[in-house]
Amino acid sequence: MLPTPDLSDAAPEARAIELPWCNYGARRQFSGRAVTVKCFEDNSLVKALVGEPGEGRVMVVDGGGSRRRALLGDMLAEQAAANGWAGLVIYGVIRDVDEIGRTDLGVQALGTVPVKTDKRGEGQQGIALHFGGVEIAPGDYIYADNNGVLVSREAIAGG
């Protein structure tokens, strides 16, 4: 995969999610079709989805930007990698970063916190998300690396 700056040059219609991402997974560059989740301080849907076949897709999680509860930890990251997810883009925070850094998975998040989420079974899946100045729809193409995260309605050549 080309770096996101080259992909952006090749496809100016691709939109950058305008947030200060940190790259945590062992897979420093990743891409795939978006599976969308909206949840707030409750990762019940994330937990359920990482148990399903990822098929090289990217889970995009709108956690409302909360920095109080981690939406991903080492056990869920390991399960996601084992089930073939390319990565997760989390508008929120994660924990267990040392272990996640050794897991063959792409993970972009806003930061870290040691506190786990509540499990209330709340959230939505398969809806359009709006954060960082961008709309992300289920099935959009996600491209991520140390430069940031791009969203495109169509696949980008070299991506």
pLDDT of residue 9: 96
Decide if 73 is inside a domain: yes
- What is the number of structural domains in the chain? 1
Decide if 154 is inside a domain: no
Q: How far is CA 64 from CA 102, 130, 144, in A?
A: 27, 10, 20
Domain with 116, as residue range(s), is 17-140
- Average confidence (pLDDT) over 27-34: 98
Decide if 148 is inside a domain: no
- Average confidence (pLDDT) over 5-23: 97
The CATH number of residue 52's host domain is 3.50.30.40
pLDDT of residue 118: 87
pLDDT-derived band at 10, boundaries 50, 70, 90: very high
- Average confidence (pLDDT) over 22-44: 97
pTM: 0.97
Decide if 150 is inside a domain: no
Q: Is the pLDDT of residue 56 over 90?
A: yes
Query: 22: closest CA among 136, 119, 141, 113?
Result: 113
H or E element, residue 141: strand 141-145
User: Which residues sit opposite 93 in a β-bridge?
Assistant: 70, 111
Q: Is the pLDDT of residue 21 over 90?
A: yes
pLDDT of residue 5: 97
